[in-house]
Amino acid sequence: MSLSDLLQPKKPTAPWDKPKTKPKAKKDAAKDVKGSKAKQPNPSTQTPARPRVSIPVYISIVGVHTTLLSYTALFLPRTKVLQDLAGHYASDASSSSAVPTSQDRPQHPFLTALTSSPGVTLFALCAGTLILQTWWASWLRGAWVDLTVQGTEDERAREKFPEAGKKARHLATTYASVVVASLLLHVVLVLFGAPMNEYVHSYSKRHHKLTDPGSLTLKTYLLALLISTLVVLPASYVLGPPTWSTSNDTALLVKRWTWVRLFAELSPRNTVERALVYPAVGTVLGAWAGIIPTALDWDRPWQAWPLTPAYGALLGYIASSILAVTLDAVISTNAANPL
């Protein structure tokens, strides 16, 4: 372009000579709108926020669970089948001519069915507790998935409701963990002074019942099985059985340290963890406190081993479960209505 061209004034252009840019701008705006719509995430594929445990549902589930445990403790041993079994083991008591030392203060008739055969009573408690704890653990597992598993609703549903074969294997592994824990706990109870076979004979003579030599060992194991069912079964089903593998697998490390954090450090962080830790602590403390009446010289039928620690464990579990749900209700209320 020459210097004269630059110095020459430009001629004004007519309006109809202006380039038509508005349609192009509209077209570009339409493209931008379409692009912004395309960039927005699809609600069907977007990962939803993890739901919280519903406190009203949690309260109702705990209420049903503790009520059924109370029924198991007080009424399941009174069923006709178990009473017939208890009468079979104590059939010689009616033919004995001696008088029991506790006849001067006879116990309430309601307790007779529970104390006539402690072994049968413990068997009933273990059977009923096993069924209830399996149901309770399955509900806790669903709540645990909602709180911890990240993913879509379909992924959580597959985790909460696995295939029948996978669920059966997981349940079998959980029951195996309970059995192993009960064997270890049985050894601990014996080391802490649980009665052995030599105590059977004096106890049998005093109460005029024939007892097989291994009955107290069996009763001690049933107590260990009851405590393991209350404590180990829910935790093993929800978290997975503890492992001592030295593998560097992230999932195994997380599981191992979760067990350590909950049951060694006693540091729960959410509703499900409190529902596992609090009843476990209450069960152990209740069983420990329940041993105290056994050593007293009241000579009452309900002092027979291991009735008092078994019912103490159940009472401690129920009280701690109520404490856990009460604490969660208070935390939820404070979070919804901050000061």
Two structure tokens written together for 313: 């464990």
Both ends of the chain: CA-CA distance in Å? 76
Per-residue pLDDT of the chain (339 residues; tens, 9 = 90+): 555 555 555 555 555 555 555 555 555 555 555 555 445 555 444 445 555 788 899 999 999 999 999 999 999 988 877 777 666 655 544 433 334 445 556 777 888 888 888 888 999 999 999 999 999 999 999 898 888 877 677 766 777 777 788 889 999 999 999 999 999 999 999 998 888 764 444 444 444 444 444 578 889 999 999 999 999 999 999 998 887 766 677 778 888 889 999 999 999 999 999 999 999 999 999 999 999 988 887 778 888 889 999 999 999 999 999 999 999 999 888 877 765
For residues 323 and 10, give the distance between their C-alpha atoms in angstroms, rounded to a whole number: 89
pLDDT of the residue at 100:
47
Q: Does residue 198 contact residue 179 with C-beta atoms inside 8 Å?
A: no
Residue with tokens 């096993």: 130
Two structure tokens written together for 91: 């059939």
Q: Does residue 270 contact residue 239 with C-beta atoms inside 8 Å?
A: no
| Percent of the residues in the chain that have a pLDDT greater than 70, as a whole number | 70
Q: Does residue 236 contact residue 177 with C-beta atoms inside 8 Å?
A: yes
For residues 320 and 231, give the distance between their C-alpha atoms in angstroms, rounded to a whole number: 12
DSSP state letter for 304: S
pLDDT of the residue at 179:
96
> What does 59-126 look like in DSSP terms, one character per residue?
HHHHHHHHHHHHHHHHTGGGSHHHHHHHHHHTGGGTT--S--GGGGSPPPHHHHHHHS-HHHHHHHHH
Amino acid at 209: K
For residues 59 and 65, give the distance between their C-alpha atoms in angstroms, rounded to a whole number: 10
pLDDT of the residue at 206:
47
E strand segments, the chain: none
Considering Cα of 216, then 220, then 221, then 225, what sign does the dihedral take? positive
Cα–Cα–Cα angle for 230, 134, 150, rounded to 5 degrees: 105
pLDDT of the residue at 295:
81
Two structure tokens written together for 197: 């076979």
Phi and psi of 313, rounded to 5°? -65, -45
pLDDT of the residue at 201:
40
